[in-house]
Each structure stands twice: as C-alpha cells, then as structure tokens.
Amino acid sequence: MKTINIGSITARAWNLAIDNWPIFILLAIVKNIVTSIGTSLDAELLQEYNLARHPEMFSVALDQALHINPWIVSLGFLLGMYLSIVTFKMLVNCARTGKPYESMADVFSLDFVRFAFFLGVSIVLSLAIIITALLGGGIVAAIVFATGLPLGWSVVLVVLGVLIPTFYITIRLAFAPIIIATEQVPFLDAFRLSWRLTNGVFWKLLLLLLASCGVIILGLCACIVGVILAQVVVNFMFALAYTDLKDANDEPAADIAAPVMESYEK
C-alpha cells in the first residue's frame, strides 16, 4: 500500500542533509552562479536617477541599468539544467544508499537525449502549471463576474480558483523531472509515472509541501547559510517522498514503461 510518513521523511531528510551538506551546498552555490551569469546591474546609474525622490522613474532606470547577454544567459540556463540532473541523481542515491554517488562518473555522465528529455519535461511542467493557473483563475473570474458577487468574495474565489488546480497539477506531476533524470524512461512516461505515484497520496504530499515551506521559513531565520541548508533539507524531503512511493509501487518504473521503451530504442 502506497503511503508516506511526513515525520519520518522530515527526520531522515535532516539527517541526510547534515551528513552530506558540503557537496549539496556547493552544487547549490555553483548553480546559482551559473544561472545568474550574463546579467549585470549598473548600480551607479540607478543612483543617478535618485529613485528615492522619483520612484516613477524606476522602470526606466532599471531598463537602462540592467544589461543582459542572451547567449550567456542561455548557456547559464543549460548549465543549470545539467546541474539539476546531477543534483537529482545524488539525492536519489543518498535516499537509497546514504551516499551521493558510487563514482563521480555515475552522476556526472549524461547523454544528449536524456538531457533533452529533462529540458523538455521541465518546460512542459512549467507551462502546464501556468496554463492551469490561468484557466482556473479565468473560469472562476468569469463565473464571479456573471453572478455579480461582492468584490471581497470575488477576490477570494478567484484566488482559490488559481491556487487549488495549480497545487493539484503541481503535486501530481512534481516527480516528472526526477523520474526523467534518474530513470531510463521515455519523455511522456515521466508524467504518466508521476501521476501514478501520486495517486491516492495527494493530501499527504500537500502536507509535505506545507512542511517544506516551514523548513524554508526556519532557514530564513538563520540568514543565508540557513536558507541554503533548508533548501537541501527540502530537496531531500522531495527525493525521499519519491523513493518511498516508488518502492511502494507495485511495478518498477522501468517495467511500467517497458512497452514504450522498446519502441523508443528501436
């Protein structure tokens, strides 16, 4: 029977983070650096606009002070995606063996097709979340407008119309990136497997998401180092939830995707 224990996952995630924090914090720092390359902000130019007295000039000042090199930004984005795959592999290895890797080649090696699949899954997942939020909010807004409800209730209902379907889709498809990064499955099967793994445990995963928000808030109280360590703990919570549900599933991911994988390999 599929189930997850939030208290157990949180405690195990904390222990794994404490035991393996150096490499994961290093990865987080490197990823933040590479994803921010190609952008620079001219602070002196911003000061010349004297935004404290002329806040209406903020957009103009920012447009002139912010410099973006699209080619370097794109390269940083791709490097960030690659480091995300490496991180997912290490997280799953830690969740299963307590160690981030057996050999460096295991986690840093990556074929082009697998990278393209991961990039595609990440983009599709982001689009699915955005479209769901827009549709949910738009449908509720149309109904509210037609019924003529008071403004206060209208705002509340529209916000719920955005949040409820967005949370649902996000949680049901959340494991697609980690599946495509750690399993030899085709593109669409990552979403199908995530949907299957999260079936029947939506509310527990929602509670786990809320618990992870609590961990981040605690990390904020400890400033920069605390935030980074809190993020490592949250990543482990996510990885442990995935491995626990996958182990509890009746069929391994590779077996579920076997028929599609055979045609893919041909």
Confidence of residue 50 (pLDDT cuts 50, 70, 90): low
Contact 47, 258 (CB under 8 A): no
Burial class from Cβ neighbours inside 10 Å (0-12, 13-18, 19+) for residue 41 reads exposed
pLDDT bracket for residue 149 (50, 70, 90) = confident
Q: Please say if the pLDDT value at position 266 is more than 50.
A: no
On average, the pLDDT of the chain sits at 85
- Pairwise pLDDT comparison (176 vs 38), residue with the higher score: 176
pLDDT of residue 251: 55
AA identity, residue 251: E
Check pLDDT > 90 for residue 40: no
pLDDT classification of 110: cutoffs 50, 70, 90: confident
Report residue 77 as tokens. Answer: 């984005």
Residue 181 in contact with residue 86, Cβ under 8 Å?
Answer: no
pLDDT at 265 over 70: no
Mean pLDDT of 217-235: 84
**pTM surpassing 0.85?**
no
Q: Tokens at residue 138, please?
A: 């738009």
Per the CB < 8 A criterion, the answer to whether 132 and 165 are in contact is yes
Residue 193 has pLDDT above 70, yes or no: yes
**DSSP of 5-23:** -HHHHHHHHHHHHHHHHHH
Cα radius of gyration (the chain): 21
Number of other residues whose CB lies within 10 A of the CB of residue 143: 14
Which among 3, 4, 83 is positioned nearest to 36, based on CA atoms?
83
Report the percentage of the chain scoring pLDDT > 70.
83
Cβ neighbors of 69 (< 8 A, separation 6 or more) are 38, 39
Query: Which structure tokens are listed for 238?
Result: 């996510």
Quick one: pLDDT band at residue 32, thresholds 50, 70, 90?
confident
Q: In the chain, which residue ranges form alpha helices assigned H by DSSP?
A: 6-34, 43-48, 58-65, 70-97, 104-108, 112-147, 151-172, 176-182, 187-197, 202-221, 223-248, 253-256, 258-265
Q: Could you report the per-residue pLDDT of 202-221, keeping only the tens digit for each? A: 999 999 999 999 999 988 88
Mean pLDDT for 26-31 is 90
Residue 122, pLDDT above cutoff 80 = yes
Q: Give which of 187, 183, 202 is closest to 251, Cα–Cα.
A: 183
More confident of the two residues 89 and 49? 89
Q: Residue 134's CB: how many other CB atoms inside 10 A?
A: 12
Predicted confidence band of residue 68 (pLDDT cuts 50, 70, 90): confident
Q: Please, which pLDDT band fits residue 259 given cuts at 50, 70 and 90? A: very low
Check residues 110 and 90 and name the one with the higher pLDDT. 90
